[in-house]
Structure 1
């Protein structure tokens, strides 16, 4: 073994820190290490020296802000050090902290030294605060930063919304006056549970369509009212995901029904558009503006998916199963059912954010209407 490897083993931690700190499922590594340090009465930069070696600012104030701005990544030896310090095992930490998964460990093949890094931005996901009520219920007195696939999180237990912009503070916004937004989140989860990746893709398309509408028609009465109820400025970009979710969920159901039908002839497309015109009239969304996004989606989905072969308990080839109302309590909701998306869905995917990467539509939240 080389001298560097021997040194790493000799000088690594041998026993846990005196005060145990429990990680939260889905928490960022940086957030947990920060809380672990504070539990010992230390600042973050002092504990980092025990986890391994890395590059960080010489400004302690800046280092202490890292957990709220970026993620900490470790190599395999760094993970071992961290496990010893918190009185756990590397495998147990990997089950709780997403950024310590094997695929996300630093690949430092030239050294056996324990290493850590804080890149400019998280490599995957976004840092979003855990619901303040959830945090308090765990007896934690500081912000717990989660690695989230979206820029926001919805706590259905406490009806709170948190996002990466800390809209409404790190405790989040109350959704008690916006039950339809919470329900839309449940519908999104149910769609993913029912149809797997296809359900996620169709919801992403629906969300991009709703973003298109909001970008062109931000003063639509229902969206302005929801923003006010949440205590937000109606035209603020961070407010958009919160106020658009109900329409995005309803739109996702319409897209799913269209894919299920398998019909793409002119009559079927015209009937579908007319149904949506009526729905948009009820929402107060100007159809003459909103139809552009719908027509683009229809163009990309003009070819039906190839019928699936017969499967046990699944639809027979060439048949279109009826769309059922998705809900988390539906028996079998956790098992993805057969549904294929049009082959044209992949042609114009925009890998700029999670919902954008899953969608075939190019519009992204925050893009000016004149550039869409």
Structure 2
């Protein structure tokens, strides 16, 4: 029986479902692909790495072309040395989570759910509006009561496409700022976020703070992108004074979030900490002499800039952020 992989599926999960579809064991399929030592594995804990020749064999067994598999299986390939097949612990940064349960039912093939390999610790099923965040299907959340989360995810995907890899650093910083506000009971804690927690049936739990604040974190990341496009060319937001941390941008960000009053009451402190980390390196005298940015600069991808010259491509967002506090930790120094 031919089988098409679920988009984002782990290689081990696909092999397991292919075996099930053909009434075989996973161990037998691995042997067909060239594994020399018998045995199976828990694909939530480990992954299968395949040589080029083994990848071609897998495509033949599945009735799909190799490029189709490469597009769908993010971890396909890898360093296997002299082996055709290597079962190994999950590479750092990957999160394994259960496929959207509604997607499983809609497939109707009777096969086991797929295990999805994600470079983030969360995913949104755009087809069915569900929040995925762990390998436990019970942890999936329907976003039907809070459609603004789905809309925010669509905005995030557009921002990532426009900015390139640097967008991940901005979302990481925006998520840290939002978590700071949530933890300090500032900004939308008593209004927008309390309402969203109720809609989603959540309590005030640290485990769900990213979901609860996600729409505002995405909007804040968009505002940070505007700031960073100006900073790249040594300019202050809205032509502010070059020797002054721009309060104009902080006020504007508060207006974009619909939380201008909360910003005035103390929310600005977290954003001021961010602007200090993202200060303009160009000397003041040089900034006063320079001309405008080149035409079309607002449509260009952003290069990596200090303090984000390098950061992990996958894994927890908080490991990417330049801000000193972390979820659940002390925020009293700001």
Q: TM-score range by the shorter chain?
A: 0.7 to 0.9
**2:212 aligned residue:** 243
**2:173 aligned residue:** 205
**1:369 aligned residue:** 330
Q: Contact conserved, 1:220 with 1:284, CA < 8 A, in 2?
A: no
**1:318 aligned residue:** 292
1:29 shift after superposition: 0.4
- 3-state DSSP class of the match of 1:21? coil
1:106 shift after superposition: 2.3
Which segments of 5 or more consecutive residues in structure 1 lack a partner in the other structure? 1-18, 307-316, 325-336
1:301 shift after superposition: 1.5
Alignment of 1:107-186 (within 5 A): 107-108=80-81, 111=82, 113-119=83-89, 121-141=90-110, 142-166=112-136, 168-169=138-139, 172-186=140-154
User: Structure 1 residue 33 and structure 2 residue 1: aligned?
Assistant: no
Between the aligned partners of 2:127 and 2:220, the Cα distance in structure 1 is: 25
Which segments of 5 or more consecutive residues in structure 2 lack a partner in the other structure? 284-290
Change (3 A) 1:323 1:135: farther
Change (3 A) 1:55 1:287: farther
Q: Contact conserved, 2:172 with 2:320, CA < 8 A, in 1?
A: yes
Between the aligned partners of 2:325 and 2:109, the Cα distance in structure 1 is: 39
Cα deviation, 1:116-152, whole Å, max 9, x if unaligned, reads 2131x34453223332222333324321222222111
Q: Contact conserved, 2:166 with 2:304, CA < 8 A, in 1?
A: no
**1:96 aligned residue:** 72
User: Structure 1 residue 270 and structure 2 residue 247: aligned?
Assistant: yes
Q: Contact conserved, 2:49 with 2:79, CA < 8 A, in 1?
A: yes
Between the aligned partners of 1:97 and 1:47, the Cα distance in structure 2 is: 17
Alignment of 1:50-89 (within 5 A): 50-53=32-35, 63=41, 66-89=42-65
1:284 shift after superposition: 8.0
Q: Contact conserved, 1:178 with 1:229, CA < 8 A, in 2?
A: yes
Q: Contact conserved, 1:70 with 1:118, CA < 8 A, in 2?
A: yes
Aligned length: 316
Q: Contact conserved, 2:251 with 2:263, CA < 8 A, in 1?
A: no
User: Structure 1 residue 360 and structure 2 residue 322: aligned?
Assistant: yes
Change (3 A) 1:303 1:342: farther
Between the aligned partners of 1:258 and 1:190, the Cα distance in structure 2 is: 18
**2:79 aligned residue:** 106
**2:287 aligned residue:** none
Between the aligned partners of 2:32 and 2:260, the Cα distance in structure 1 is: 56
TM-align CA RMSD: 3.7
**2:308 aligned residue:** 346
1:93 shift after superposition: 2.5
Higher mean C-alpha displacement, 78-87 vs 141-150: 78-87
Cα deviation, 1:237-285, whole Å, max 9, x if unaligned, reads 1x12211111102212321232344216355612233444566783885
**2:286 aligned residue:** none
Higher mean C-alpha displacement, 293-302 vs 189-198: 189-198
Change (3 A) 1:151 1:140: farther
Between the aligned partners of 1:348 and 1:94, the Cα distance in structure 2 is: 26
- 3-state DSSP class of the match of 2:47? coil
